[in-house]
Structure 1
Amino acid sequence: MPAWLKKLGSSQDGDRICNGPSLSSTLNLMLVFVPKLATRSSIEMKTDFGLWTIVANGRNSRFGGIHPSNCQGAPSVLRGAGGVQMGVLGRFMVTLTKCMPRFMVAAVARRYVAGKDLENAISVMQKLSSEGACFTVDVLGEEISTLDEAQFFIDEYDRVLDAIVEHKLDANLSIKPTAFGLLIDEKIAYQNIERLLENAAEHDVFVRLDMEDHRVTQSTIDIVLAMHQKGLTNVGTVLQSRLLRTHEDIESICNVLGGAADFRICKGVYLEPEDIALTGYQEIVDALKSHISQMLDGGAYVGIASHDMPVIEHTIDALKQREMGPSIADPRKNAGAVRTGKGPGYEFQMLLGVRGNVRRKLAQEGHRTRIYIPYGNRWYEYSMRRLDENPDVAMHIVKSMLLPWTNRR
């Protein structure tokens, strides 16, 4: 048996997977569960921890799909990295994928990463445009070690801009400030980002500064505010609901920028110290709901970046309460001129390859939906981080392996 397969029976600290069922019973669970998942009906499974039922017919959600609240009589839902709730099967798949050789991970990652080069990303966007989606493009990589490395990202994003214009793609940019030198020389990083914003503004392309770990939270916000002061308003940032400071950040940014404030709000993928961040799944989801409402009330443009059905359903209710939604003109005061590629004060954002059925349903209902399109040579690091954070990814891996005909982005 290959060494990487032997590792499946234990986690890195030597404990059995999830301190629960054995590897053999987990494999049995996977083989029983996954084929029946496609039937979207009630499933009964007998494992080492007894008989339990998962309701997968979507009765508890207007969009369907499995959610922890659908599990009846199941063992306690386990918590994966970052406090994200994850069942036994998802936890098993995380362990399995981390033990795989890279070429096997690459086969799985194709669903979630557009490819290694820009041409791959263009092809993916052209195919998905027919579903009414728009895009944000991310060149994978962050926290460079020398300023010379920043030049690669400067040049590559120039190529992305040219491609957006040439192919008439409904897309904007997502950048990591540390990839432009923020942790090496803040002044040079500002100059690099300002140059990109100027080039993007010439083509009316928006640029999103991705939020990284807490070391650069304030610096990233400061860049956005500084660029707006210089008249470069085609930029906004990401805020993470797991951070305790986010409520105050929303308030301060909205006070300064008013209707020009433009957010992506998400749970947050980086694991942060407990003294500055929430750690439990439910408390993070509750915070995310609260932050969405706060942003809408603050008059900001809001990109809701979540695959959690309670968050999506909360957002739709919040929009209705504020008389916002599809085919309704942006009601925000002082929002300024409508920017190319933006929705009526809000949009939904999702990762490539995750809950495409939900995204398509939202688009059919008239909501603007944006897909995060990552590409580049750093695909492995990106894939591992997403796998740790998002249980949906683990579930989709199971389906893509055993039910390849369902592998639709």
Structure 2
Amino acid sequence: MSLLSPPHASVAVIHTDAQALQIAEDIAQQLRQDSILRDRERQLPHAELALFSRSGLWGITVPKTYGGAGVSNVTLAKVISRIAQADSSLGQIPQNHFYALEVLRVNGTPEQQQRLYAEVLAGQRFGNALAELGTKTAHDRTTALSRDGEHWRINGRKFYATGALYAQRIPTSVLDEHGEQHLAFVPANSPGLNVIDDWSGFGQRTTGSGSVVFDNVQIAADDIVPFQSAFERPTPVGPLAQILHAAIDTGIARAAYEDALQFVRTRTRPWIDSGIEKATDDPLSLKAFGHLAIRLHAAEALLERAGEYLDRAQAETNADTVAAASIAVAEARAISTEISLAAGSTLFELAGSQATLAEHGLDRHWRNARTHTLHDPVRWKYHAIGNYYLNDENPPLRGTI
């Protein structure tokens, strides 16, 4: 088990969207360093996460009334995309942190919000223990919450627990004796809690997305927030989770695209039959780069548009605004999936065989995109989008679209 204390150095408190974007840019420049080495050798990014935490970026969605910046979802998506561009694993690690904060905003009591938001502003990181292996569907849960006097106990096993390895709290989905699902904000140092670093995916290698085992773990009632009800009525919880995934993939696409440009400009040789002196003059390469650029810019524009829809859904939450936000986010998810995979693959076609050398680490873009985009099937997003526009059918509330 990894038990980390919050950063010892002071944690910045960000107050504006502009400040968040500037700090994200500055931090991304530093997080990009050694990103190839970390991926190749699976070096866990403890020092990088400490820097990331001290920047204050993990607290940017805390509402202004609780001392945070309460940034727009446009800004949040841009921040995550920029960090993912620098290192996509570091871009994914806070995804469920922000997801848990949205559940807290929607369903938490004022006392819970005050206490947990304060922890985040002080530098605490939240991981996650949501998904399980061996269930009928990816959204089924068996981890049990049972009463023990004034407290509760958790028993079960989770997987795909991104960020749990680095967290001070691990928000965990649990079922009570009535089958009702809750989100328990479990302290990472709880007796009986074991975080296992057994993530072996060929991409997103340093996200810490392994197992969490709960053996009669005690949890205070004050650390349990209703979860299921966030999907039994229209809330922005689902599209908030999805826009973060879209932001990660958009960041991967941008990184692959820019690495392709740099490699072709500096290393790629012209094809012998082309009759040109420089690879940058190859008309077929120019067309391919043009195609990538258009789709990348479209993905970035749709990501920003999705953030605007989600901002409206948070400001005025009802069935119509949440559905519109869910569809806008689904559109961003669909195109970000496609461009991240296309950029990571086309890179090699345009750059040539030199680009496959391990020293360049360019394979990480496709591996990371392919791994992360499997979170939920993009084919169902096209179905939901088409059904919404053609048949006026709102997407499901459970948050998978």
Common fold: TM-score over 0.5: no
Q: Give the number of the structure whose residues are more often helix, by fraction.
A: 2
Structure with more relative contact order (C-alpha pairs < 8 Å, separation 6 or more): 1
TM-score, normalised to structure 1's length? 0.24
